[in-house]
Amino acid sequence: MRMNTLAAACLLSALAGCASTGPAATGTRPAVAGQAKNIIFFLGDGMGINTLTAARIYAVGEDGELAIDTLPESAFVKTFSNDAQVTDSAASMSAYMTGVKQNNGVISMSTDTRSIAPATEGKRTVSRCNNGHAVPTLAELAKARGMAAGVVTTTSVTDATPAATYAHACHRKLEEDIAAALVPGGAGYNKALGATGLDLVFGGGAQQFTPLDAGGKRGDGRNLLTELQGKGWRVASNTAQLQALAANSQPAIGLFAQNHFKYEAARDPAQQPALSEMTAKAIDILANNPNGFFLMVEGGLIDHGLHATLAKRALQETVGYNAAIKTALDKMNRLDPGLKNTLIVATADHDHTLLINGYSPRTGKTTPTNAGVLGLVRSLPDGKVRLDKDGAPFTILGFGTGEHRIQGSRKDVKLTDEIAAGDDYHQEAVVRTKTGAETHGGADVYLGAAGANAELFRGTIDNTRVFELIKTAAGL
């Protein structure tokens, strides 16, 4: 019955391009009854099933719940890219944002776009793109309908995941160009965002907005923050300035790090706000638009912790990501009781090689006196430390690939719960890689959804299908 209602709504609003592949005509058009007026898309970068499970045990124990667990509808998402069995963040997020399979490294372009690394000319990074074309993103479709749109992340706002929301490039390393795509009227601006552009951008990456002589990385001499201020944008650079932003329709950009944020447990809360704080402020600002809003929120440092085989850091980032989901659920249920006009989708772009080794007794959540899931594998029922073939202990969490692999026998490995639960302990890996170069994994990822038309998300679906379902749910 819901699908029939949606189909009727799409017919009634054909001018909005319900089944089109390009942006709707620029203007303001309220959502039709039964469609999602507000869309919040949460992306846990690298948050595979094992990471999500381990984070749950870490934070609330085996039988506890994270915020994402409370979302009533669910699906599994296939993440392969156009040219690779295992995707990178650029291709996977671009598939979510555009509904088009991308080659690894490509940002929101057509399937035939080849990933071509930029060249360096003097102090400038220069695109060598000579193929493919831009394809519309959910943010562009939202802006075309008169909705507000924003991006929140704990990485640089020019990193692959947030970039796929608002920019188009043949290579993810074209970060100077990606930043320029945000400046209305400026050289390189993405005109598909409309005359005024996005309504807010919160995250890191200030270096991509400022010139070399101001401590930035722009070789073209432009100061994009100054340009944005000249166009009426408000600029914040610390938590107090973020909190001081009034909840009005004036656009805002908050850049709280030169590049990426520090890990959740290491960040200075006065300088770098929590993901949940940025999410709350974003909703306060975007909710002023009577036509609704689109908001993308990324927990980007989950991926960083996993690449470094720092499981504790990755789990803490996953907990922070879930806190942002809870914040959004609480705020939107106050603004829109029952989420009758709001769709919230939370998922990941790809997996990693994190492993949960068996058969340890239940550990419960991690505390200062309990290593929990970060600790050593023990035996049932006596709880004694379990030993490998070489007679050495091993941890519950490990990695398929990573920098820490024991050469030869492990018989001399000295491991305790205290060591394994250390903030910067690198879990052991099966295959040794360069430092920080643990790889992505190719497994399907989990998706949870709540609110208006969330029941559309079910079964095992392709990442490009997620775009189509969001588009249908909102009538974009």
What CA–CA distance (Å, rounded) separates 137 from 140? 5
**Furthest-apart CA atoms within the chain: distance in Å:** 71
Cis upstream peptide for 368 (omega within 30°): no
> DSSP per residue over 31-65, as a string?
PPTTS-SEEEEEEETT--HHHHHHHHHHHH-TT--
Find the catalytic residue in 81, 89, 94, 110. 89
CA distance readout (Å), 414 to 246, 354, 406, 459: 54, 22, 12, 45
Q: At which residue do the structure tokens 């592949």 appear?
A: 21
351-352/440-441 β-pairing = antiparallel
Q: Copy the structure tokens of residue 316.
A: 């803490």
> DSSP per residue over 225-262, as a string?
HHHHHHTT-EEE-SHHHHHHS-SSSS-EEEE-SSSSPP
The identity of residue 132, as a single letter, is: G
Instruction: Of 436, 356, 345, give the one whose Cα is nearest residue 396.
Output: 356
CB of 185 closer than 8 Å to CB of 233: no
Active site residue 89: yes
CB of 378 closer than 8 Å to CB of 384: yes
Return the active site residues: 89
